[in-house]
């Protein structure tokens, strides 16, 4: 460890951080105490939406802005906690009026518009389960997830309904109601859909959240694995204890903060930190309808006087590409804490941030399964650039090796690489993979949850990301399962075999690349490549579809005939790892 890789906070504190001394905070921390900081429901139990909305609307923060939505044209629209309570009450009543039961799944497929946030929180009030889908998905990932989750209600927009849902709706027998926001001024999708605003104005504005067991299911997130279909990750209302604690201790939220999480609610970060954590903290959160644009983002940070920012390495790299001079044109002095998640945050990005913003970026690590931040560079700590930081108080993290026979062995020596494990349970730990108890059990050995990430821990207890133990692709912070992409390419008549990997990319971290072998009678040519790309984009959407397709007559396989993506990866990197002796070893970090 080079001494110069530790960055001191340069600026002094504008506000005293919630966590001042890491060791002291760890020693005195208890999840029970955090739970007592929250309200709980008047009639008993714990409900995320009560903590996020009603608790503030009933108290001194009723007129405080909860959501500041920036529309495409750049205009700001404010929703106070009081107004958010009324709207989410209406949505909960609307679900009730449609005969939706607690536990039923309510999906949202929408760009970032206020209705998305209303639907999310209204669903939680009603005690049905909220599941958000990324609006850039094509029809196939949407269909798979709605089917696996047996979605009963889908909230979407007129445009997305027409483009992506109409064609798959008849294949989804469980989908009883489609609620459409006609946000383009057109008429809603037809008589088989319900108009969002008309529905909400037809029901009452008062709603009392019924008793909610902290262990009642609240959120469903789909995440990608190496094999088969996406996994439905189930979280319960008690997860709010984790959202709240990390909002306070990692994002250091204070009552007057303006917080902006740039992640879309179609991914876990956009729900845990783009909806729940900031509202539970009672701050003002920003939601921007638009996608990334460097000038827009700097402008937004400046004009909204954002104080705490949660973004992703891909966005930072895009800003770095854009150059420091652009940043210099904006007054970014309101920012006091910058944080990041989703992919490795390289040391250069941390240093760049010091230069441009006057503060380092604080990296954080967690997963869909963990529900909230588990490892972080805390605001009061020196940032160790390139490191993910240290475990959240209340979280015990270890580096382990898997041994033959399913046992694990903790690695004590500093700097040794192994798999990151977390001691179960913690409040926001996932409670199930939907309909897949065996897969869930496989994630645990004894008390330990095994994350599938390879890390090392230095002498001072900072964790460093080494890589993933599986073939899942992280592109621009989004998890993509290779199988989902391979299946769609296999539908094409020319394709005999296909293997999909993440090709390293300077900006996105990785981009989806497919290796394809053709059936006899098909010739490799540009027209076919374009046709395959078009097919994949149409079915999967631009985020999941491969950016690159390479034709290769033979793909590397195991003895048993499985395509070995690790060898495609090695081949791509030009690495000498491409050695058949690794072939039949399991994928995990195996003890040597
Ligand atoms: C929140 C989220 C989880 C996977 C995780 C790891 C990668 C997340 C990271 C990081 C390096 C970080 N990851 N944070 N890798 N440094 N700070 O991203 O959830 O989409 O489930 O992805 O993302 O590989 O296992 P999810």
Q: What is the pLDDT of residues 135-173, one digit of tens each?
A: 999 999 999 999 999 999 999 999 999 999 999 999 999
Joined together, the tokens standing for residue 493 give 């008549």
Q: Which amino acids bring their CB within 6 angstroms of ligand 1?
A: 223, 267-269, 341-345, 363-368, 388, 451, 453, 465, 468, 474, 479
Give 285's pLDDT tier (boundaries 50, 70, 90).
very high
Range of the domain at 172: 6-457
Return the half-sphere exposure (C-beta side, CA atoms, 13 A cut-off) of residue 439.
18
Distance 15 CA to ligand 1 centre (A): 29
Percent of the chain with pLDDT over 90: 85
pLDDT at 579: 45
Q: Which of ligand 1's atoms lies nearest the C-alpha of 340?
A: 17
User: Hey, which of 367, 376, 397, 502 would you mutate to test ligand 1's pocket, going by the most ligand atoms within 8 Å of its Cβ?
Assistant: 367
Q: Quick check: helix, strand or coil at residue 466?
A: strand
Top mutation candidate among 235, 479, 509, 543 for ligand 1, by most atoms within 8 Å of CB: 479
What average pLDDT score do residues 583-587 get?
A: 39
| Residue 532 near residue 499 (C-beta atoms within 8 A) | no
Pair 488, 449 in one domain: no
Residue finishing a domain among 457, 487, 521? 457
Same domain, 115 and 151: yes
Asked if residue 568 and residue 500 are part of one domain, the reply reads yes
Does residue 408 form part of some domain? yes
**Nearby residues of 89 by Cβ (< 8 Å), 6 or more positions away:** 122, 125, 204, 205, 206, 207
pLDDT tens figures, 103-131: 999 999 999 999 999 999 999 999 999 99
Mutate to test the pocket of ligand 1, among 366, 372, 456 (most ligand atoms within 8 A of CB): 366
Q: What is the pLDDT of residue 330?
A: 97
**Structure token digits, residue 241:** 């204890």
Atom number, ligand 1, closest to the C-alpha of residue 366: 1
Residue written as tokens 């390495």? 313
Residue 45 confidence (pLDDT) above 60: yes
Query: Within this chain, do residues 493 and 382 fall inside the same structural domain, yes or no?
Result: no
CA of 443 to the centre of ligand 1 (A): 16
How many Å apart are CA 592 and CA 590, to the nearest integer? 6
By the 8 A CB rule, do 455 and 417 touch? yes
Residue 246, pLDDT above cutoff 60: yes
Does residue 464 form part of some domain? Answer: no
d(CA 171, ligand 1 centre) in Å: 33
293 inside domain: yes
Determine the pLDDT at residue 96: 98
Cα 182 to middle of ligand 1, angstroms: 35
Longest CA–CA separation in the chain, Å: 72
Residue with tokens 């605001």: 379
Residue bearing the CA closest to ligand 1, atom 15: 343
With CA atoms as reference, report the closest residue to 152 among 186, 175, 118: 175
Are residues 427 and 494 both part of a single domain? Answer: no
Q: What are phi and psi of 182, to 5 degrees?
A: -85, 65
Span from the CA of 212 to the centroid of ligand 1 (angstroms): 30
318 and 174 co-located in one domain: yes
Has residue 239 been placed in a domain? yes
Identify the residue whose C-alpha is closest to ligand 1 atom 26. Answer: 367
What pLDDT sits at residue 172?
98
82 lies in the same domain as 204: yes
Q: In whole numbers, what is the pLDDT of the chain averaged over residues?
A: 92
Q: Which two tokens stand for residue 416?
A: 């040794």
Residues 376 and 525 both lie in one domain: no
Residue that finishes a domain, picked among 402, 430, 457: 457
Please, what sign has the CA dihedral across residues 99, 105, 111, 117? positive
Residue nearest to atom 17 of ligand 1 (CA): 365
Number of domains in the chain: 2
Does one domain contain both 394 and 481?
no
For residue 498, the SS3 value is: strand
Confidence of residue 3 (pLDDT cuts 50, 70, 90): very low
What is the three-class DSSP state of 40? coil
Q: Which atom of ligand 1 is nearest to the CA of 452?
A: 25
Q: What is the pLDDT of residue 189?
A: 58
CA distances (Å), 36 to each of 32, 165, 172, in order?
6, 43, 42
Task: Indicate which atom in ligand 1 lies nearest the CA of residue 451.
Answer: 25
* Residue with CA closest to ligand 1 atom 1: 367
| Span from the CA of 342 to the centroid of ligand 1 (angstroms) | 4
pLDDT tens, residue by residue, 77-104? 999 999 999 999 999 999 999 999 999 9
Q: Could you tell me where the DSSP H helices lie in 284-363?
A: 294-303, 313-322, 324-328, 347-357
Q: Given a cut of 80, is residue 176 above it in pLDDT?
A: yes
State whether 20 and 83 are in the same domain. Answer: yes
pTM: 0.92
Nearest CA to ligand 1 atom 4: 367
Domain C-terminal end among 425, 457, 489: 457
CATH code at 344? 3.40.50.12780
Residue 585 in any domain: the answer is no
Closest by CA to 272, choosing from 364, 371, 370, is 371
Q: For the segment 467-483, what is each residue's pLDDT rounded down to a tens digit?
A: 888 889 999 999 999 98
Q: Give the CATH number for residue 479.
A: 3.30.300.30
Residue 368 Cα to ligand 1 midpoint, Å, equals: 8
Phi/psi class of residue 521: alpha, beta or left (left: φ > 0; alpha: ψ in -120 to 50)? left
For residue 222, report the distance from its CA to the centre of ligand 1, in Å: 14
Of the candidates 504, 510, 507, 543, the one whose C-alpha atom is nearest the C-alpha of residue 313 is: 507
| Structure letter (DSSP) for residue 404 | G
The DSSP H or E segment spanning 532 is helix 526-540
Whether residues 445 and 511 fall in one domain: no
Confidence of residue 6 (pLDDT cuts 50, 70, 90): low
Tens digits of per-residue pLDDT, 389-442?
A: 999 999 999 999 999 888 999 999 999 999 999 999 999 999 999 999 999 999
Measured in Å, residue 78 CA sits from the centre of ligand 1 at 32
pLDDT at 12: 59
Q: Residue 557 domain-assigned?
A: yes
Identify whether 574 is part of a domain.
yes
Question: Which amino acid residue places its CA nearest to atom 22 of ligand 1?
Answer: 367
Name the residue of 262, 453, 587, 589 whose CB sits within 8 Å of the most ligand 1 atoms, as the mutation to test its pocket.
453
In this prediction, residue 588 has a pLDDT band, given cuts at 50, 70 and 90, of very low
Copy the structure tokens of residue 203.
């029901």
Q: 110: Cβ–Cβ under 8 A, 6 or more apart, which residues?
A: 116, 119, 135, 155, 156, 157, 160, 181
| pLDDT tens for each residue of 301-350 | 999 999 999 999 999 999 999 888 899 999 999 999 999 999 999 899 99
Give yes or no for residue 270 having a pLDDT over 70.
yes
For ligand 1, pick from 312, 474, 508 the residue to mutate: most ligand atoms within 8 Å of CB: 474
Give the C-alpha separation, 286 to 303, whole Å: 11
pLDDT band (50, 70, 90) for residue 187? low
* Residue 590 phi, psi (nearest 5): -90, 140
| pLDDT greater than 60 at residue 19 | yes
Please tell me whether residues 234 and 369 are part of one structural domain.
yes
The Cα–Cα gap between 13 and 170 comes to 57
Is the four-CA dihedral 429, 434, 437, 439 of positive or negative sign? Answer: negative
Specify the pLDDT at position 133.
Answer: 97
Q: How many whole angstroms separate alpha carbon 523 and alpha carbon 8? A: 59
- The pLDDT of residue 324 is 86
Query: How many Å lie between the centroid of ligand 1 and the Cα of residue 478?
Result: 9
CB 564 within 8 A of CB 556: yes
Q: Is there a domain that residue 563 lies in?
A: yes
Alpha-carbon span 82 to 62, nearest angstrom: 5
């Amino acid at each position: 460890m080079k001494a110069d890789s530790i960055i001191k906070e340069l600026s002094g504190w504008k506000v005293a951080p919630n966590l001042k001394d890491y060791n002291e905070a760890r020693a005195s921390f208890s999840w029970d105490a955090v739970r007592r900081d929250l309200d709980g429901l008047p009639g008993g139990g714990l409900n995320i939406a009560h903590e996020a909305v009603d608790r503030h609307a009933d108290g001194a923060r009723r007129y405080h802005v909860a959501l500041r939505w920036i529309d495409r044209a750049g205009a700001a629209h404010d929703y106070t906690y009081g107004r958010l309570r009324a709207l989410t009450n209406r949505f909960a009543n609307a679900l009730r009026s449609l005969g939706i039961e607690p536990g039923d799944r309510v999906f949202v497929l929408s760009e970032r518009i206020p209705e998305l946030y209303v639907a999310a929180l209204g669903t939680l009030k009603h005690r049905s389960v909220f599941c958000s889908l990324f609006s850039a998905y094509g029809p196939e990932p949407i269909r798979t997830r709605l089917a696996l989750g047996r979605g009963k209600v889908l909230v979407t927009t007129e445009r997305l309904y027409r483009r992506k849902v109409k064609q798959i709706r008849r294949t989804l027998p469980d989908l009883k109601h489609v609620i459409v926001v006609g946000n383009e001024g057109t008429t809603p999708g037809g008589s088989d859909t319900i108009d969002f605003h008309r529905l909400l104005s037809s029901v009452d504005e008062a709603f009392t959240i019924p008793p909610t067991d902290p262990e009642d299911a609240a959120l469903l997130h789909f995440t990608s694995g190496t094999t088969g279909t996406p996994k439905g990750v189930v979280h319960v209302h008690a997860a709010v204890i984790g959202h709240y604690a990390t909002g306070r201790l990692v994002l250091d939220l204070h009552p007057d903060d303006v917080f902006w999480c740039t992640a879309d609610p179609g991914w876990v970060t956009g729900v845990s930190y783009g909806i729940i954590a900031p509202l539970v903290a009672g701050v003002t959160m920003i939601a921007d309808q638009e996608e990334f644009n460097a000038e827009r983002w700097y402008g937004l940070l400046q004009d909204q006087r954002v104080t705490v920012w949660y973004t992703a390495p891909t966005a930072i790299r895009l800003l770095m590409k854009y150059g420091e001079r652009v940043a210099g044109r904006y007054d970014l002095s309101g920012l006091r804490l910058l944080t990041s998640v989703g992919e490795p945050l390289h040391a250069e990005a941390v240093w760049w941030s010091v230069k441009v913003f006057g503060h380092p970026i604080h990296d954080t690590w967690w997963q869909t399964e963990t529900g909230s931040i588990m490892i972080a560079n805390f605001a009061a700590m020196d940032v160790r650039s390139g490191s993910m930081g240290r475990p959240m108080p209340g979280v015990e993290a270890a580096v382990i090796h898997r041994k033959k026979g399913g046992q694990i062995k903790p690695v004590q020596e500093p700097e040794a690489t192994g798999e990151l494990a977390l001691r179960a349970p913690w409040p926001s730990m996932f409670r199930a993979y939907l309909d897949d108890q065996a897969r869930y059990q496989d994630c645990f050995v004894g008390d330990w949850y095994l994350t599938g990430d390879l890390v090392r821990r230095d002498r001072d207890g900072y964790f460093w990301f080494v890589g993933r133990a599986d073939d899942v692709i992280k592109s621009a912070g989004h998890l993509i399962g290779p199988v989902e992409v391979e299946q769609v390419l296999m539908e094409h008549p020319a394709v005999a075999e296909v293997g999909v990997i993440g090709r390293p990319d300077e900006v996105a971290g990785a981009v989806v690349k497919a290796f394809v072998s053709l059936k006899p009678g098909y010739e490799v040519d540009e027209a076919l490549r374009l046709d395959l790309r078009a097919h994949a984009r149409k079915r999967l959407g631009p985020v999941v579809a491969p950016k690159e397709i390479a034709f290769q007559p033979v793909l590397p396989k195991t003895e048993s005939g499985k395509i070995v993506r690790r060898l495609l990866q090695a081949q791509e990197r030009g690495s000498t790892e491409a050695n058949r002796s690794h072939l039949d070893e399991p994928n995990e970090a195996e003890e040597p």
